C-alpha cells in the first residue's frame, strides 16, 4: 500500500487519478503512525514551501523511519523540494534533508534576472546525466510539464536536469528516495511512464 | 528549452461543445471528453474548458464535464466561465481542474485573485482579460465582451499579476472569431509588461498566425477553438510548422 500524504498543499485529484491509472493501491493516512505499515510514501504538493510546516516532527520521524526500514519515498514538485534542506521561500523552515542544498527563486540571487518569466510554466525538456530507476526508458529531451518558481540545485543524485535560465534538478534519486520537480500526473504518457517506473521498482 | 504551448479551448454549454466539430470517428462530435481525448492523441499541451452557462443545474453539469474530460487526459486542465466565487473555484478544482480562469468576477472583486492564490497557489489562478482597441489603447470588457469597463488591459494585467495571478489569458475581442490572426500588438504590450506567462487568444486562422504571435506577439502560449474543431489541419501539423520556424514546441 502507498501512502499519499495530504498536507493541504494543493489538490490531490490529479495525483490520485494518475496513481489509479498505473494500477497503484494507495490511501491518504491522517496520522503519521499509519506510515508504519506502508511500503511506499508519496509527498505531492504545489504552492508555498511554508505549507510543508504541516509535516511536523511526528510526520518527519515517521517518514524517516519508514525509509530506514526500506519503504520508498517519492516527492512531487513542492514534495521534491522538501526532500532538500530547505528553501529561500520559507527561510528557517527545514526540509527533510535527504539531498544537500537549498531551493532558490528562479529569478532571485544568485542568478539575477533575465528574459525568463517566472513562474516557469509549461513543457520543458529533461536531460539525464546517467541511468536511473525512475527515468528508465525515456529518451533524452523528453518533455514534461512544470509549474514552479523555486528550484532545487543540481546535485550528484540528480536523475534529470532542466535548464530555464539556470540548470536545476528536475529529478533526484538516491536508493529508494526519489523526487521530481515537474508534474508527472500532468505530463501525458511520459509522466505516467515515470510513475510506473517508480511503482514497478517499489 | 521551454516550449511554446498550444492550448485547445472547448466552449461548452449544457455539457456540449457548442462551436461544433467535424472530426471523423467521434461517436458524438459535441462531446467534450471525446474531443479532449482526440486533442490529447494529437499532441495538445493543455485544455481549457470555457463553460458559459451559469444556472445551478448548469454548474452541476459543469462539474460532470470537468470530471469526464479530466478522466481522459493527463494534461493541465483549466476551467473558466462563470467562476464567480471561491466556492465555484473549489467545485471546479475538486472536479479535476488544475487551474481556474477568472474574468468578470476578478474585475468586480480583485481580492478574489489573492484569496484563490493563497488557497491553491498562483499557478492555479489565471486571469482572463477580454480587450478591445478603443480610444487609442486596449480597453477591458467584462461579461463576455458586453460590459465596457474603461480599464486599460496592460494596467489591469499588471494589477492582476500583483494580486497573485499565475498567468494571463488575453483575448482580442476585435479578432475573436475572425480568423484574421492574433492581435500581436495587444499580446506584446501585455506580455512585455508582466513577468508571468501570457496566453494569446482570438483570431487564429492559419499556422502563420501562431508563429507570428509567438515571435512578434511575444506570447508564451496560444489558444484556439474553432481552428482545431473545423480545420483538417491538426495540432501536430501546427507544431511541425512551428518547429520549422525555430519555435520550441513539444512534439
By percentage, how much of chain A surpasses pLDDT 90? Answer: 82
B25 touches chain A (CB under 8 A): no
Q: Mean pLDDT across chain A, nearest whole number?
A: 92
pLDDT at B233: 67
The Cα-based distances of A150 to A10, A48, A97 in angstroms read 16, 9, 17
Do B3 and A185 lie within an 8 Å CB cutoff? no
Instruction: Say if residue A39's pLDDT is above 70.
Output: yes
For the segment A148-169, the average pLDDT, to the nearest whole number, is 96
- A116 to chain B, closest Cα gap in Å: 8
B15 part of contact set with chain A, CB < 8 Å: no
0.90 exceeded by pTM: yes
Query: Which residues on chain B are in Cβ contact (under 8 Å) with A182?
Result: none
Q: Name the average pLDDT for chain B.
A: 89
Q: Residue B167: which of A10, A121, A163 has the nearest Cβ? A: A121
Four-point Cα dihedral B208, B49, A120, A47, nearest 10: 170
Residues of A with CB under 8 A from a CB of B: 10-11, 13-14, 17-18, 21, 46-48, 107, 116-125, 143, 145, 147-148, 163-164, 185-189, 191-192
**Strand B137-142 with B125-134, pairing:** antiparallel
User: For position A151, what pLDDT does the model report?
Assistant: 96
Q: Which CATH class is domain B5-244?
A: alpha beta
Cβ <8 Å between A121 and B195: no
Categorize the per-residue pLDDT at B54 as very low, low, confident or very high, splitting at 50, 70 and 90.
Answer: low
The stretch A157-177 carries a mean pLDDT of 96
Element (H, E) at B173: none
Report, as residue numbers or ranges, the catalytic residues of A: 77, 183, 185
- Whether chain A has a CB inside 8 Å of the CB on B78: the answer is no
Q: Provide DSSP, B16-60.
A: EESS----TT-SSTT-HHHHHHHHHHTT-SEEEEEE---SHHHHH
**Cβ–Cβ contact B96 with A under 8 A:** yes
Q: How far is B94 from chain A (nearest CA, A)?
A: 7
pLDDT score of A111 more than 50: no
Catalytic residues of B: 11, 130
d(CA A184, CA A145) in angstroms, rounded, equals 7
- Quote the CA–CA distance of B18 and B149 in Å, as a whole number: 27
pLDDT tens figures, B123-159: 999 999 999 999 999 999 988 888 889 899 999 999 9
Q: Who among A11, A117, A143 is closest to B120 (CB)?
A: A11
In this prediction, residue A113 has a pLDDT band, given cuts at 50, 70 and 90, of very low
Task: Find chain B residues with C-beta within 8 A of A47's C-beta.
Answer: 120-121, 123
| Cα separation, B66 vs A120, whole angstroms | 25
Q: Do the chains contact at B121 and A191, CB–CB below 8 Å? A: no
The predicted pLDDT at position B24 comes to: 47
- Concatenating the DSSP letter of every residue in B54-104 gives -SHHHHHHHHHHHHHHHHH--S-EEEESS--SHHHHHHHHHTT-SEEEESH
Q: Calculate helix-pair angle for A13-21, A188-201, nearest 10 degrees.
A: 70
Q: Which of A21, A119, A185 sits opposite B123 (nearest CB)?
A: A119
Domain borders along chain B are 5-244
Residue that is written with C-alpha cell 494543493 in the block = A10
Angle, helices B86-94 vs B56-72, to 10°: value is: 30
pLDDT in tens, B196-216: 999 999 999 999 999 999 999
Region A16-31: mean pLDDT is 94
Is B76–A120 a contact, with Cβ atoms under 8 angstroms apart?
Answer: no
- Residue in A closest to B89 by C-alpha: A11
So what's the pLDDT on residue B27? 44
Smallest Cα–Cα separation from B97: which of B125, B127, B76, B126? B76
Instruction: Please name the member of A14, A21, A125 whose beta carbon is closest to the beta carbon of B98.
Output: A14
* Interface membership of B122 toward A (CB under 8 Å): yes
- Integer Cα distance of B46 and B74 in angstroms: 9
Maximum Cα–Cα distance for chain B, whole Å? 48
Enumerate domains of chain A plus CATH numbers: 2-201 (3.40.50.880)
Residue B179 grid coordinates: 480568423
Using the predicted structure, report yes or no on whether residue B232 has a pLDDT greater than 70.
no
Q: CB under 8 Å to A49, separation ≥6 — which residues?
A: A78, A81, A82, A86, A87, A89, A90, A93, A103, A150
- Interchain CB contact of B130 with A (< 8 Å): no
- Residue B7's pLDDT band (boundaries 50, 70, 90)? very high
H or E, element range at A27: strand A26-27
Going by C-alpha positions, the residue among B147, B42, B163 that lies closest to residue B112 is B163
Query: Could you tell me the three cell numbers for A2?
Result: 502507498
pLDDT digits (tens, 9 = 90+) for B214-231: 999 999 999 998 788 765
Residue A143 to residue B98, Cβ atoms within 8 A: no
- The answer to whether A165 and A141 have CB atoms below 8 angstroms apart is no
In this predicted structure, the answer to whether residue A108 has a pLDDT above a threshold of 60 is no
Among A11, A117, A164, beta carbon nearest to B196: A117
Cβ-Cβ pairs closer than 8 A, A with B, add up to 91
Half-sphere exposure of A67 (CA within 13 A, CB side): 21
- Give the whole-angstrom CA distance, residue A99 versus residue A168: 13
Amino acid at each position: 500500500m502507498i501512502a499519499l500524504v495530504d498536507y493541504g498543499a494543493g489538490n490531490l485529484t490529479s495525483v490520485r487519478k494518475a496513481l489509479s491509472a498505473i494500477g497503484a493501491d494507495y490511501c491518504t493516512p491522517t496520522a503519521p503512525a499509519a506510515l508504519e505499515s506502508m511500503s511506499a510514501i508519496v509527498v505531492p504538493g504545489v504552492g508555498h514551501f511554508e505549507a510543508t510546516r504541516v509535516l511536523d516532527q511526528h510526520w518527519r520521524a515517521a517518514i524517516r523511519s519508514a525509509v530506514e526500514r526500506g519503504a520508498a519515498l517519492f516527492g512531487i514538485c513542492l514534495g521534491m523540494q522538501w526532500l532538500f534542506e530547505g528553501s529561500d521561500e520559507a527561510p528557517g523552515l527545514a526540509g527533510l534533508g535527504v539531498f544537500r542544498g537549498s531551493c532558490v527563486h528562479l529569478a532571485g540571487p544568485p542568478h539575477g534576472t533575465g528574459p525568463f518569466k517566472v513562474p516557469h510554466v509549461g513543457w520543458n525538456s529533461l536531460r539525464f546525466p546517467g541511468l536511473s530507476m525512475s527515468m528508465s526508458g525515456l529518451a533524452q529531451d523528453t518533455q514534461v510539464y512544470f509549474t514552479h518558481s523555486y528550484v532545487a540545485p543540481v546535485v550528484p543524485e540528480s536523475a534529470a536536469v532542466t535548464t530555464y535560465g539556470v540548470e536545476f534538478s528536475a529529478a533526484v534519486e538516491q536508493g529508494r528516495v526519489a523526487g521530481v520537480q515537474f508534474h508527472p500526473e500532468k505530463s501525458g504518457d511520459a509522466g505516467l511512464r515515470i510513475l510506473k517506473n517508480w511503482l514497478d521498482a517499489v | 528549452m521551454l516550449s511554446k504551448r498550444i492550448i485547445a479551448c472547448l466552449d461548452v454549454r449544457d455539457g456540449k461543445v457548442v462551436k461544433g466539430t467535424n472530426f471523423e470517428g467521434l461517436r458524438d462530435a459535441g462531446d467534450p471528453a471525446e474531443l479532449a481525448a482526440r486533442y490529447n492523441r494529437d499532441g495538445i499541451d493543455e485544455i481549457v474548458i470555457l463553460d458559459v452557462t451559469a444556472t445551478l443545474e448548469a454548474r452541476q453539469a459543469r462539474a460532470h464535464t470537468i470530471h469526464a474530460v479530466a478522466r481522459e487526459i493527463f494534461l493541465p486542465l483549466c476551467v473558466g466561465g462563470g467562476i464567480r466565487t471561491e466556492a465555484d473555484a473549489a467545485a471546479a478544482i475538486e472536479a479535476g481542474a488544475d487551474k481556474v480562469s477568472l474574468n468578470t468576477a476578478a474585475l468586480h472583486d480583485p481580492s478574489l485573485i489573492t484569496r484563490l492564490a493563497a488557497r491553491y497557489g498562483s499557478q492555479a489562478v489565471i486571469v482572463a482579460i477580454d480587450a478591445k482597441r478603443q480610444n487609442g489603447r486596449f480597453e477591458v470588457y467584462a461579461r463576455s465582451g458586453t460590459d465596457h469597463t474603461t480599464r486599460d488591459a496592460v494596467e489591469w494585467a499588471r494589477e492582476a499579476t500583483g494580486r497573485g495571478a499565475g498567468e494571463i489569458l488575453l483575448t482580442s475581442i476585435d479578432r475573436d472569431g475572425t480568423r484574421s490572426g492574433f492581435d500581436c500588438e495587444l499580446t506584446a504590450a501585455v506580455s512585455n509588461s508582466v513577468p508571468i506567462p501570457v496566453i494569446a487568444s482570438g483570431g487564429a486562422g492559419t499556422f502563420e498566425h501562431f508563429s507570428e504571435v509567438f515571435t512578434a506577439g511575444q506570447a508564451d502560449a496560444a489558444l484556439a477553438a474553432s481552428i482545431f474543431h473545423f480545420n483538417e489541419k491538426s495540432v501536430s501539423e501546427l507544431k511541425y510548422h512551428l518547429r520549422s520556424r525555430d519555435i520550441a514546441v513539444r512534439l
